[in-house]
Amino acid sequence: MDGTLLIIAVVLGVVIAAAAFMAGRRGSGGGGDVLERVIQSQAELSGRMQHSESSLNERLEALTNRLGNGLAQQTEKTGEQLTNLQKRLAVMDSAQQKITQLSEQMVSLEGILSNKQARGAFGEFQMESLIKDVLPPSAYEFQALLSNGTRVDCLVRMPSPPGIIPIDSKFPLEAFRAIQGAKTDTDRQNANRQFSRDVGIHIKNIAERYIIENETDWAIMFLPSEAIFAELNTNFGNMVEEAQRRRVGFASPSTLMALVNTVSAILKDSQMKEQAGLIQKQVGLMLNDVRLLDDRVGKLKVHFRQANEDVEGISISSGKVADRGQKIQDVQLDEEDEAPELDAKLDPPRQPPRPRLKEV
pLDDT of residue 266: 78
Amino acid at the residue 322: A
pLDDT at 109: 45
pLDDT at 107 over 50: no
Distance CA(192)–CA(172), nearest Å, equals 12
Gap between the Cα atoms of 238 and 214, Å rounded: 28
Q: How far apart are CA 236 and CA 227, in angstroms?
A: 13
pLDDT value at 341 more than 50? yes
Q: What is the pLDDT of residues 23-43, one digit of tens each?
A: 555 554 455 565 677 667 666
* Tally of residues, the chain: 360
Give me the domains of the chain, ranges plus CATH numbers. Answer: 116-272 (3.40.1350)
Q: Return the pLDDT at 358.
A: 46
Cα separation, 94 vs 106, whole angstroms: 18
What is the rounded distance in angstroms from the CA atom of residue 125 to the CA atom of residue 104? 20
- 59-65 average pLDDT score: 80
